[in-house]
Amino acid sequence: MKNKFIGINALLNAIKTIFSIIFPLITFPYISRVLGVENIGIYNFSSSIVSYFTLLAGLGISTYAIREGARYRNDRNKISDFCSEVFSINFISTLVSYVILLFCLIFLNKLHDYISIIVILSISISFTTLGCEWIFNIFEEFGLITIRTIICQFISVVLMFIFVKDRDSLVQYSVITLISTSGANFINIFSRKKYCDIRFCFNSKMRRHLIPILILFANSIAMTIYINSDVTILGLISGSYHVGLYSVATKVYTMLKSLLGALIVVSIPRLSSYIGIGNKREYSETASTILNSLITLAVPVMVGTFALSDKIVFLLSGKDFLPATTSLQILSVALLFSIFSWFYTSCVLIVNKEDKSVLKATTFAALANIILNVLLIPYFNQNAAAFTTALAELISAVVCYLYGRKYFQSNLQKNDIISTLLGSFLIIVICRLVKIYISSLYVSIFVSFMLSVIGYGIVLVLFRNNSLKLILDFVKRK
């Protein structure tokens, strides 16, 4: 298989992520006003419940399949056998997940008010399993993934404005969201045969996958707990109203995190391949480039989000959601911790098969998150949930770094650090000045964004930032 340029892969994945951001930016201001805080809270609580069963169905299969499958992708027979075995495990775990979900919906009275939304959203579990998007990740087919995702999101946007008209449209909204998130997986069912021949099997060879998959599954459990426990506990203790407020902050946080993480996602197959063939020099150089680029991007995004948090909340959801401003400011700080943790988890520990170390890091983070959520949410509601998320991300980042430093030593340049810090400080100054002199919401956001990008770019050029130089060199070559 011919290696695709990792920058192109990152660009394609970033485009997919950008459209995933544009979709809610277009629809969420409309949806939040039409459905109201209470219905948004109901939807997000239902989504958080489904996420646990999605986790159970997925086990640790996607991460494991991408890491191991990248080593077989040049041999169709081997990759077909591997994918069939992994798919079969995934199919069985999906059936188990649905059985447990049915049991919970029948016997847990607390969930009875949410049954219709939970059932609709749970359909995505089966599409995820059958779609096997991890196969396309193994072969670095990010172009196909991007095109399919954009098409499904475009259809969903059109349907959203046609069918979601009032506060009684929550079911319609849930169905349309399902199309947006699972439509691409439905298409994948029919196109995956181009890369391998999948069949259901049940044999002794499957055992070799179970232990690493279960370790990654345990890690996914811990990670999901500290990602979703805040919403679940917030809903149980404070109610749907505070979940609705918190959902605005988490939506922005998740979008930005996904956009910044686009480079990490596309790097895993390539880094796994380098480790598989023992090419440590290429691995180290590529990982260093990724980390430097992430820091150069993440710091200004964190600063800009913090500075414009109230305007972002008002733009997305209106004045009723303004109490979510503080939560978004806290989560903007969590963003930097999260990206650093994500890099060391996926690009260092997992590709080097240090799954147990990742499990320890996420377990520490999850325990801290749950305990603090229970203690603080009764007093500080959505702001407490944001704070515990930030702390959990910090714990995970520190622990992953301590475990991962024996496999990878970062090579941050002094001029890169100085240019990033000075450029970020300039962003703060620009946002403050714009806030003083421009009162219009839309104009102030646009001007703040454009001047910040231009100012930050100028600082990077003046200090010869290496990440910017790599991008410019690539553009010149093309």
pLDDT, tens digit (0-9, with 9 covering 90-100), for 292-314: 888 888 999 999 999 999 998 88
| C-alpha span between 445 and 254 (Å, rounded) | 20
Q: What is the average pLDDT across 275-295?
A: 83
Of residues 63 and 331, more confidence is placed in: 331
| 140-144, 380-384, 440-444: least confidently modelled range | 140-144
Find where tokens 């600063």 sit. Answer: 303
| 85-89, 276-280, 282-286, 390-394: least confidently modelled range | 276-280
pLDDT-based confidence at residue 7 (cuts at 50, 70, 90): low
pLDDT-based confidence at residue 22 (cuts at 50, 70, 90): low
- Is the pTM above the cut of 0.85? no
| C-alpha span between 252 and 250 (Å, rounded) | 5
| C-alpha span between 427 and 425 (Å, rounded) | 5
Q: What is the average pLDDT across 275-293?
A: 82
> What tokens does 258 get?
């996904």
pLDDT-based confidence at residue 268 (cuts at 50, 70, 90): confident
Find where tokens 């069918």 sit. Answer: 163
pLDDT at 2 over 80: no
Give yes or no for a contact between 349 and 358, defined as CB atoms under 8 angstroms apart: yes
pLDDT at 208: 83
Note the pLDDT tens digit of each residue in 92-118.
999 999 999 999 999 888 888 889 999
pLDDT at 478: 47
Give yes or no for a contact between 237 and 229, defined as CB atoms under 8 angstroms apart: no
pLDDT at 247 over 90: no
Q: What is the average pLDDT across 428-451?
A: 90
Tell me how far the alpha carbon of residue 378 is from its chain's centroid.
28
Give yes or no for a contact between 358 and 219, defined as CB atoms under 8 angstroms apart: yes
pLDDT at 266 over 60: yes
| 364-378, 404-418, 425-439: least confidently modelled range | 404-418
Note the pLDDT tens digit of each residue in 318-333.
788 888 899 999 999 9
Q: Measured on CA atoms in the order 398, 404, 406, 407, is the torsion positive or negative?
A: negative
| 4-18, 37-51, 254-268, 295-309: least confidently modelled range | 4-18
pLDDT-based confidence at residue 428 (cuts at 50, 70, 90): very high
pLDDT at 281 over 90: no
CB under 8 A, 24+ apart: contacts of 13-18: 13/142, 13/145, 13/146, 13/262, 13/263, 13/265, 13/266, 14/259, 14/262, 14/263, 15/146, 15/150, 16/142, 16/145, 16/146, 16/149, 16/150, 16/262, 17/255, 17/258, 17/259, 17/261, 17/262, 18/259
pLDDT at 347: 86
> Exposed e or buried b for every residue in 59-95, given b needs 16+ CB within 10 A?
bbbbbbbbbbbbbbbeeeeebbbbbbbbbbbbebbbe
Note the pLDDT tens digit of each residue in 134-169.
888 887 777 777 788 888 888 888 888 888 888 888
pLDDT at 442: 85
Count CB neighbours of 174 within 10 A: 21
pLDDT at 451: 94
Cα-based torsion angle of the residue sequence 42, 46, 51, 56 in order, rounded to the nearest 10 degrees? 160
Give yes or no for a contact between 369 and 387, defined as CB atoms under 8 angstroms apart: no
| C-alpha span between 299 and 333 (Å, rounded) | 9
Give yes or no for a contact between 456 and 424, defined as CB atoms under 8 angstroms apart: yes
Find where tokens 């009875």 sit. Answer: 112
pLDDT at 35 over 90: no
pLDDT-based confidence at residue 476 (cuts at 50, 70, 90): low
